[in-house]
Amino acid sequence: MLILLLAYIGGVLTIFSPCVLPVLPFIFARSDQSFRRSGLPILIGMAVTFAVLASLATVSGAWLVGINQYGRYAAMLLLLLMGLALIFPALSERMMRPFVALGGRLQHRADRQASIKGSLLLGVAVGFLWAPCAGPILGLVLAGAALSGANLYSAFLLLAFAAGAASSLAVALLAGGRVFGLMKRGLGAEEWLRRGLGVAILAGVVAIALGWDTRFLANFSFLSTANTEQQLIAQLAGKPKDSSSENSRMALPFTGATLWLNSPPLNIEMLRGKVVLVDFWTYSCINCLRNLPYLKAWNEKYRGQGLVIIGVHSPEFAFEKDRRNVEQAIRDLGITYPVAMDNLFAVWNAYKNQYWPAHYLIDANGKIRHQHFGEGAYQETEQMIQTLLKEAHQGVLAMNDELVQVAGSGATAAAADIERSPETYLGYARQENLVSPEAIKQDVAAQYSAPRALKPNQWALSGKWLVSSESAAVQTSGSAISYRFQGRDLHLVLGSRNGKPVRFKVTLDGAVPGEDHGADIDAQGNGVIREQRLYQLIRQSGKITVHTFRIEFLDSDAEAFAFTFG
């Protein structure tokens, strides 16, 4: 809502630009005429001009970004040029000179006609003459639209900007010469405002180019809206059924994806004739990771026979929106099939999905024929893949009906068939079973302590921590987390707030873990946080019993998000 308001204000402020002054006397000269026959056609003409220019720029910009990931750099170059145009009026004038010339010719013709047609033509001229001043600001809106895609949000941004420009022009029509005089007195302030905005834009381009924007936001987990989005989904839609009987629902497009990895952008029409498996996942989700050996095996076995797997990466935590983090995870996990980054939850919402992981199988005609939520049912899913492939090839396809045999390692290994502790979030939004005696101080650094003993599934903080809605961040070295858990494996989603390595040490029942250490620590319990992801800290090798786990952070700026168990 705030961004829409700013776009509207940006449209209003364009009237205070020097290059609009030459055309305003012609508009004021018509202020004594009927608003229906003069003022309204002028506003319509200007709005149509903006609509045409904006539509061309948005569609072409979205097409440019959609070619491949390098289109993003072209959009940033556009932002750079617009920022420079705001700082240096001479550059803006040079960039917009063709539009000014066309607008001048239209203005001259409109001045000779007092009819509705003449007013409409004058409005078109105003639209073009507005370009040298509105161009940089409008360009920012259009560049943002191109980066996010031609969607409803982009349309509202452009509509808000056009409404602001039309509002200021309507005021000018009604107030006449008084507004003209006010504009002359305000030119100096407007010039400094434009230049200040230009400097801010150049700084923003540098931040985006260097990845500082996503790195900065990743350090502030309370900025994540994932929890709110999921609550809204739960209110607007009922719980989806885990069933293969819903075979009438058509597959939905992927147009809301913010970025495609391992593939150019795909859509349902391009996939007609293929069998498609849509996998909603996120790279720090242990249940999603345990699915990966099967997904990779199915991709290897059935890709040549018409199966397309699309991983829709819908982030649970703020750091999972960082493109570099996702790219690194895809490389580390050996994923080669297409992955659509769904940072705005557009694809998630379109499918009315609620779970990580979730599988949707789509037949060659574009219908959803099978869906499953969570781990498991691998045999059932693979048999359905075979059925849909045979249908697509009308029984001609010769296929090995044997099911794949996989064995994951590390965090991707299947969970043990035993009772285990529940997934536990450290942020206050979904916090349960915390037994530190101190009350949690939300988003404020505070000192916490652990009780002498913990019961199963209880955990505690000790040391100085800052607890936000989705994480707990270490403020001083020596701070620790204790957890009385049950299960074969213990995983913890960890990250570094400043991007630097953070050392930690793990103990199990007060001793080094030895043979029970996980893949991300050694037998002495030593480990290092180098990226934001899920870390496997305990993998019990002998008899599986209840243990007290403790992790002590030897450096500050570590951030812990959630425990999961296997």
- Closest by CA to 491, choosing from 289, 226, 326, is 289
Domain residue limits at 140: 2-210
Tokens representing residue 517 in the block: 């250490």
Contact 260, 266 (CB under 8 A): yes
* Residue 218 lies inside a defined structural domain of this protein: no
The CATH code of the domain that includes 520 is 2.60.120.260
Q: What is the rounded CA–CA span in Å between residue 546 and residue 549?
A: 10
Q: What is the pLDDT of residue 42?
A: 65
Q: Which structure tokens are listed for 66?
A: 């959609």
Tokens of residue 217, six digits: 């936001």
For helices 71-87 and 187-209, angle between their N-to-C axes, nearest 10 degrees? 150
Residue 386 sits in the same domain as residue 492: no
Nearest to 348 by CA among 257, 247, 286, 242: 257
Please tell me whether residues 125 and 235 are part of one structural domain. Answer: no
Q: Give the C-alpha separation, 293 to 404, whole Å.
A: 10
Q: Residue 328 domain-assigned?
A: yes
User: Token pair for residue 405?
Assistant: 């045999």
Regarding whether 443 and 397 lie in a shared domain, the answer is no
The CATH code of the domain that includes 357 is 3.40.30.10
Point out which residues pair with 505 in neighbouring strands.
526, 552
- Whether 432 and 402 map to the same domain: the answer is no
Whole-angstrom distance, CA of residue 13 vs CA of residue 10:
5
Within this chain, do residues 85 and 186 fall inside the same structural domain, yes or no? yes
d(CA 140, CA 146) in angstroms, rounded, equals 10
Residue 65 lies in a domain: yes
Contact 141, 153 (CB under 8 A): no
Instruction: Decide which of 412, 446, 467 is a domain's last residue.
Output: 412
Around 278, how many Cα atoms within 13 Å sit in the side-chain half-sphere? 30
User: Which of 210, 244, 264 is the last residue in one of the domains?
Assistant: 210
Residues 157, 272, single domain; the answer is: no
The C-alpha atoms of residue 62 and residue 60 are separated, in whole angstroms, by 6
Per-residue pLDDT of the chain (566 residues; tens, 9 = 90+): 555 676 677 667 665 554 455 555 555 555 555 555 555 676 677 666 655 655 555 444 444 334 334 444 554 565 566 567 656 766 655 655 665 555 455 445 544 444 555 566 656 655 555 544 444 455 455 544 444 444 455 556 666 776 777 777 677 666 654 554 555 455 455 556 556 656 665 665 565 455 454 444 444 444 443 444 344 334 433 444 444 444 457 777 787 788 899 999 888 888 888 999 999 999 988 889 889 999 999 999 998 888 999 999 999 888 888 888 999 999 999 999 999 999 888 888 888 888 889 999 999 888 889 888 888 888 899 999 998 888 887 655 556 778 888 877 777 777 777 888 999 999 998 899 999 999 999 999 999 999 999 999 999 999 999 999 889 999 999 999 999 999 999 999 999 988 899 999 999 999 999 999 999 999 999 999 999 999 999 999 878 889 999 999 999 999 999 999 98
Same-domain status, 150 and 184: yes
153 and 247 together in one domain: no
DSSP states along 326-389: HHHHHHHHT--S-EEE-TT-HHHHHTT---SSEEEEE-TTSBEEEEEESS--HHHHHHHHHHHH
Instruction: Give the DSSP per-residue string, 404-427.
Output: P-----GGGSPPPSS--PPPEE-S
pLDDT of residue 354: 84
Same domain for 385 and 260: yes
Contact criterion met (CB below 8 Å) for 518 and 538: yes
- pTM here? 0.56
Task: Give 259-325 as a 3 state SS string.
Answer: EEECCCCCCCHHHCCCEEEEEEECCCCHHHHHHHHHHHHHHHHHHHHCEEEEEEECCCCHHHHCHHH
557: left (phi over 0), alpha (psi -120 to 50) or beta: left
Same domain flag for 343 and 454:
no
Q: Are residues 84 and 7 in the same domain?
A: yes
On whether residue 49 sits in a domain, the answer given is: yes
How many domains, the chain?
3
335 with 197, same domain: the answer is no
Task: Give the integer Cα–Cα distance in Å for 557 and 549.
Answer: 21
The DSSP code for 554 is: S
Instruction: Answer whether the bond into residue 451 is a cis peptide, omega within 30°.
Output: no
Of the residues 345, 377, 412, the one at which a domain ends: 412
**Domain-embedded: residue 220:** no
Structure tokens at 276: 């498609």
E strand residue ranges, 199-313: 259-261, 275-281, 307-313
Q: Which residues pair with 341 in a beta bridge?
A: 259, 313
Sign of torsion over alpha carbons 259, 262, 265, 266: negative
Is 217 domain-assigned? no
The answer to whether residue 476 is domain-embedded is: yes
Rounded Cα gap, residues 419 and 566, in angstroms = 9
How far apart CA 259 and CA 325 sit, in angstroms, is 13
518 domain residue, yes or no: yes
Give φ, ψ of 215 to 5 degrees.
-65, -40
- Amino acid letter, residue 117: K
